[in-house]
Amino acid sequence: MTEEKRCDRCGSCCKVLPLFTQHMHPEFKRYLLTRGLEEDKEQGCILIPHICQHLMEVGVWKEPNGNPVGPFNITYSCDIHNDPERPEICRKYKGQKIMKGARIYVPPSCAFRRE
């Protein structure tokens, strides 16, 4: 019997809007990448920075010398994580890549991510 995984409320899944590239025109994909957007080749999507309105900033990742780490250096937590009125997609998300036939982005840092 395995221990059930729990969401660590890191906000990684709610910091980006994924555009899946499977049916994207190659020139449009190239255009997006030249605009500085990040690509997750493993999951086949381009990541557009878009912070969910319910994420609260809780800290900044820093190196031992005090410098912020990387472009996504702010850590977040969901303000409505325990609210029964939060959106259905948020309540049911458990790191799965497909939900009701729709593809879902699972960040590499997700506690639910299945290796």
Closest to 58 (Cα-Cα) out of 33, 71, 77: 77
pLDDT for the residue 103? 87
Continuous segment of H or E residues that includes residue 29: helix 26-34
Report pLDDT digits (tens) over 81-92. Answer: 888 888 888 888
Check: CB of residue 11 under 8 Å from CB of residue 75.
Answer: yes
Beta bridge partners of 47: 18, 38
> What's the whole-number mean pLDDT along residues 87-115?
82
Between 6 and 4, name the one with better pLDDT: 6
Which residues, in sequence order, are CB contacts of 68 under 8 Å at separation 6+?
60, 61, 62
Between CA 102 and CA 100 the distance in angstroms is: 6
pLDDT band at 78 (very low <50, low <70, confident <90, very high): confident
DSSP class of residue 70 equals: S
> 30 exposed, middle or buried (CB, 10 Å; 0-12, 13-18, 19+)?
exposed
pTM (predicted TM-score) = 0.71
Q: Which contiguous run of DSSP H or E holds residue 80?
A: none
